[in-house]
Chain A
């Protein structure tokens, strides 16, 4: 609740407000959708982009960091690429345009542009709270995405890849996804950039897991060095539902990945696993909030960060335990390997506990490469650079190994190894 008056609009704010006026004629949806967009844009204009004075944006002053907004580029061209995991079903979004072909059996997909045109999407286009800049920007400009329903009992043998490929301009998409009761699936939300031109990509995923659903959702963000990536995942876990969310950031200039969840069914379990590979001039923020709203739910969060160059990283993690959410078990850890004197990382764990019979803990550490480990590897003939890379890799690989599926682990390990080789 931080009202402020932007005295003069920044270049990015001006570009967003003017862009809205220019684009409104071609943005899908009328009536309720249009008025929802207008409301969001009016709030954006009134409040401006959030600054460090807004608590949830304290470490990511979006107003200062978002220097410019690339113009919408209708001529930009992008093609789909091979899936991360061979054999996956692929639903592609090329420069913001979604292609609904490619869904596996049991998965019903429709274009979000249609939901906007028909008006049913209007109910989605609201702010989470007064500081929801991502929801505001995305809701104002959203053009496409997928509305996905995984039918009750469906077990996907192969991963489903949501492949977002961007070459220039802007992309604003939404993904409301419902996993029916007792579904099992691995979904890979993959963000790629195929050119050096700057892009602004925003996404909002709303995930609902019905009773007994067991889902692994992997966000692999590999955008370009000039790109801004503003993303939000909202989830709701039903009875005995299990969600494992992996967030891997290995690209982007300005990145904010928000994850907001609630456990609404007893016996549900949430795991957040994050790997932030931050180099160059990137500013990458993972902000997480979880409400344990009912008794007997569990969560663990482990974030591992590797920082090089002049990178800046942020992790904010907030766990709330409602007054009657007894027997909650929640643990959060954020470990950072700072490999450059010019890099920095801010970690802000928060616990708000209103129940008395719970187990909650958090820890944040900043470490360096262990000299004894390094000497041991070198004493076996491994040159120092290679030994260092092995140890950095080991630090994040512990997280990847938790996936326990070699078909998924191997390509992720290859991406991490390649990143370390290029940046270290």
Chain B
């Protein structure tokens, strides 16, 4: 589903290279975890996948279902099924949460040539999904993410993901700032979306989240490259021994 080939990317503004020859393949149905120390390029990778224009790809390619997505803008990528759950969801005063959800859903459907959802149908879907994620309906009456706690914001991200039904989910440090109860709710939300035709890339710092979202593969990102890949036991190794041995071995 996702093939990243020899990807090189830099910050557009100052030319600093962050991703330096990254290769990664994630198959449909797979949950891949990307781990790595601070500054290894984890968040940058998530932004590049979703098309943020602050970064420039200088070499290599990103194939999604066999097609390069480098020329697609963020909204096109989203409509094709790529979803980024933000590490820091943005508060937008003045944009009502429900209106935002409806516009996003219908713009994606429009792009794919599908019919727009009727309002009752839309409301029913939101109610069902928010009940599963234990989201208080009053939260949805507020402007987008405004006044939400850290945990509420992360749950709201998973709610958006559940409603938009993407094919490739990229979770950027979704566990940061969550207590254990909120972590379980979020993990359950993600697990509910696991399916043979959907891939999930979990970017995380800690193994903790991976106890709840059990990955099929684990990849260590360091200085913009994948320096080691393995199964879920790799995450446990990292937890026990830290990154130093792997980094030394790769050097």
Any B CB within 8 A of the CB of A348: no
Contact A384 B164 (CB under 8 A): no
With known contacts A375-B52, A375-B74, A381–B164 Cβ distance under 8 A = yes
Binds A, one of B19-27, B33-41, B91-99, B238-246: B91-99
* Distance between Cα atoms of A397 and B96 in the complex (Å): 10
Q: Report the separation of the CA atoms of residues A140 and B3 in the bound assembly, to the nearest whole angstrom.
A: 77
Minimum C-beta distance from A367 to chain B (A): 13
Q: A379-B74, A379-B75, A381-B108 are in contact. List 20 more A-B contacts (CB 8 A).
A: A375-B52, A376-B86, A376-B90, A377-B92, A378-B78, A379-B78, A380-B108, A380-B160, A381-B78, A381-B107, A382-B75, A382-B104, A384-B73, A387-B75, A391-B94, A394-B92, A394-B93, A394-B94, A394-B143, A398-B94
List residues of chain B with CB within 8 A of the CB of A373: 90, 92
Which B residues between 153 and 167 are near A, CB-CB below 8 angstroms? 160, 164
Tell me, in angstroms, the Cα distance from A227 to B195 when the chains sit together: 61
Tell me, yes or no, whether B79 is within 8 Å of chain A by CB.
Answer: yes
A391 & B92 in contact (Cβ 8 Å cutoff): yes
Residue A108 at the B interface, CB < 8 A?
A: no
* A383 at interface by CB-CB < 8 Å: yes
Is A395 positioned at the interface, with any CB of B under 8 Å from its CB? yes
CB <8 Å contact, B51 and A382: no
State how many residues of chain A have any CB contact under 8 Å with chain B. 23
A66 on interface, CB distance cutoff 8 Å:
no
B7 near A: Cβ within 8 Å? no
**Contact: B95 with A394, CB < 8 Å?**
yes
CA distance A162 to B108 in the complex (A): 43
- Decide yes or no: A378 and B75 within 8 Å by CB, A383-B107, A386-B103, A386-B107 being known contacts: yes
Chain A's closest residue to B160 (CB) is A380
Whether B90 contacts A372 by the Cβ 8 Å rule is: yes
Tell me which residues across on chain B come within 8 A of A394, comparing CB atoms.
Answer: 92-95, 143
In the bound complex, residues from chain B placing their C-beta under 8 Å from that of A379 are 50-52, 74-75, 77-78, 84, 86
CB distance from B95 to the nearest CB of A (A): 5
A196 to chain B, nearest CB (A): 33
> What residues on B are CB-neighbors of A386 within 8 Å?
103, 107
- Judge whether A380 and B164 touch: CB under 8 Å: yes
The smallest beta-carbon distance between A303 and chain B, in angstroms, is 16
Residue among A383, A395, A396 with max Cβ neighbours from chain B (10 Å): A383
Which interface residue of B50, B74, B108 has the most chain A CB atoms within 10 A?
B74
Contacts of B90 in A (CB 8 A): 372-373, 376
Instruction: List, in ascending order, chain B residues with CB within 8 A of A382's CB.
Output: 75, 103-104, 107
Give min CB distance, B53 to chain A, whole Å. Answer: 8
A341 to chain B, nearest CB (A): 20
- A393 surroundings in chain B (CB, below 8 A): 94
Assembled-state Cα–Cα distance A382/B111 (Å):
10
Considering the chains assembled together, what is the distance between the CA atoms of A319 and B241 in angstroms? 66
CB nearest to B53 among chain A residues: A375
What distance in Å separates the Cβ of A62 from its nearest Cβ neighbour in chain B?
A: 34
In order of increasing CB-CB distance, the 9 nearest A-B pairs are A394-B94, A381-B78, A381-B108, A378-B74, A380-B104, A376-B90, A378-B75, A394-B95, A381-B79
Contacts of B52 in A (CB 8 A): 375, 379
B86 contact set on A, CB distance < 8 A: 376, 379
**Which residues on the A side are within 8 Å of B105 (C-beta)?**
381
Give every chain A residue within 8 A of B108 (Cβ-Cβ).
380-381
Given the interface pairs A380-B104, A380-B160, A381-B111, the reply to whether A397 lies near B94 with Cβ below 8 Å is yes
Q: Is A32 located at the chain interface by the 8 A CB criterion?
A: no
Docked complex Cα distance between A250 and B74 (Å): 32
Identify the closest chain B residue to A376 (Cβ): B90
**Residue numbers in B under 8 Å from A397 (CB-CB):** 94
Given contacts A372-B90, A391-B95, contact A377 B51 (CB under 8 A): no
Hey, which chain B residues are within 8 Å of A401, CB to CB?
94
